[in-house]
Structure 1
Amino acid sequence: MARDYAARCPVSPVRSTWLLAATVLLFARGIAAQKVRVEEELEAYPTESVELRCQFIDGGGRTKLTQVSWIWEPTDGQRDNIAVYHPMYGQSFPNTDFKDRVVFLHNSLENPSIRISNLRMSDAGRYTCEYATYPSGNEQGTTTLTMLAKPKNSAKVVTVQAGTKSVVVAQCEAADGKPAATIKWLASVGGNHSTSSTNGPDGTVTVRSEYRLVPTPTDNGREVTCIVNQRTQERPWDHAMKLSVEYPPSVSIEGYDNNWYVGRSDATLLCLANANPEPTTITWTAVSGPLPDTVVVDGNKLMVKKVDDAVNTTFICEVKNKHGSSKTQISTLVIEERRETTPGPSSGAVIGGILGVLAFIGIIIGTIFFIRKRQEDGEGPPKHKPPPPVKASSSTEMNLDDETTGALNGGAPPVLDDSAKYDNVNELTDHNLDPSNHEPPAANISRGESFVSPAMFV
């Protein structure tokens, strides 16, 4: 019903202006009525000091101040007086927790500001400066004190064994911070993290984060970084760690070159193991039985002092660590004479050859392109304007007298066209060079003469 009335009776612009003016007036009167001036919010750290300022503003000077008190209201507790000042009876500090840590900065009712020293996290809360006045009664102003705490950051790796299940491989913690910190991870391995927080009795928060993955031998030594962000830190805190993944050994034997000839003295085999932690034992054995007398073992190295038929066998290398053991074997073949080996081309020569071939191909492609370009330019239209064509004339027209020819040319001297001249020359040349043409040239016949030969009488 109220909505229908508002729809039928909209507020006029004049009425809106009066409402706005009334609101501003009430707000101004509220400010004027606020006679106790304090700071609304303050921030501080443990073990430091903070000053809570308070001042009574009396424009008319008609208010009589009787007493001032500072009342502390903790975040989750009851109100309690911590400091009282009376102009006749002096100072009083009723709360024993603040008694040795609170002092009045000025021995005055008009400015009863206090200082709290050796702050604790539990000191956070609302502090009210309250006046007992006459005749208006009590006047007060409240300051909210927020306690901040820098977190104690730490991070560590967790040594794990390679397996098929997701486990915690790194941990990061931001302890006793306020406000609570946020933890992020930067990692080059595939994994995920979980975060939890715990509230302390003094209002601080401890945040813990764990990074998890399914560890494999290739993850050992990979790097993960914990990043902590918190309001009290000038910049994010970060700590890089290398994962520690333990796994049983994997073994390989190197050094055999298929050229163990009789009498050779520098034949050597190396037993290489990939393990974490490092192998505890490395054992060399032979399939044929005990190691030959010409064989010397030094850790992972098996050396043959002189190759003979006794080392024509299969050698076995076994490696152990606390997570297990692994072994591999290699068969060595003794030959009578040394096998000459031809060294292959070096990598530098191979690379140089490839570059040379590429350069040669580039030269060929460039040459072909240049030739085709020249051909296209030669087949294009002529760059000069050719002379106009001239109608070929008969031999009888060529025998016209100069006067007739001049008349035909408008009285100018006769002009012989160059193209016609060159065409006649070419015709004569072709006629003279043709060996099949042995007929004498035809005689010139003037106009009016007959082309029929006269009769011959016998």
Structure 2
Amino acid sequence: MNHRRRSSRSALFLLFCVLSSRTGCSQVLVTENVTAIAGRHAEFSCRVRGADGSPLQWANSDQQTLYFDNKKALRDNRFSLLRHGRAELAIELANVSLSDEGVYICSLFSRPVRTDTATLTVLVAPQPPTLQGDSTELREGDTLAVSCSADQGKPAPSLRWFLRDRELKAGHTTPSEGNGRSYHVSEPTVMETDERMFRASVDLELEVSWLDDGGALVCGVDHPALDKTSLEAQRILHVHYPPRIFVSASSSHPREGQRLDLMCDVQSNPQPSSIHWFRQGANLPENAVISDRRLSFVSLNETDNGTYTCEAENSLGQAQSDYILIVYDEMEMGQRLGSDQAVVGGVIAVVIFITLCLLILLTHYFGRQKGTYLTNEAKGAEDATDADTAILNAEGGRGTQEEKKEYFL
């Protein structure tokens, strides 16, 4: 938009010069607006199209001359000369601050004197965000209410919530991996704190799950002054929940004489006060050995068949998980494998049969389309003595001459 405005202004100026027949009207000033981050540097460049060597000058918004050609006029060590020539005057401002923001003026001392402006916009990175709200010590099903805010940014910072690297977006939603739990992220609140400085805040309400235990809840800041760096604040969630138990086996097809290990994986907070293995309806076999959370069978036999249960308990509750053990001997294993192979072979045979049926149907269908038919000539050729008569017979006798009838008055 600024470039278009300058182009229109330059075109009007040239038109004015042509109509007024003034000298030096072929020279056009070109400047660009500047955006800089506080604490860094800003570059101001003034170029002349059709330059005739007339002096150039840069001045600040207070009309103080900064540079006149290559001569420094203002005693501010932050300003330095970058480039100077017949068609350009470029200067640099180091350690930019918010007070430097404003309009800078480039002047070309020709006849007439020309001026153009460049607006300096200063971006200020916000302070690191802070979290306020409930304690991180929660029980499963509780609702965590927490607020995140970031101060002293220009423009206002943007805030985002993350839980275990998954973004919690504004609005109400139900994460698929959250077992139906819900959360709500408020729309951001922005307010001006100091002159041209802003504070942003956003609230989160989260129904915590046992899956959140040990997870990091992070509030991150997005801001153009941060470039690729990021500011964030985080809390590690501690969710108390009763035991969750998962039983796994070292073999999916335990065989007679084989070693088998059953592992009881217990997740809980606080840690379980007790973990027990037992066999439903019977005592544990003599060859079964319990080591911590592992139940091991040194050498399986058919008498080990049964349902084995791992049970765990903590201060919040109790849970258990079952494993049904079926021990196969070599003959049963062979029959099982043979049965599996028979099933696979049966499926393959059905597929082949269906394919053959489809081929037969397709062949029959396309064969019917090639059937023979009698032409009109053939239909009339049975009783005809020549070709012309055959054609006339085929058309239903429409070519035969009507008998002449005589009428007497």
Taking structure 1 as the reference length, what is the TM-score of the superposition? 0.43
The structure having more radius of gyration, on CA atoms, is: 1
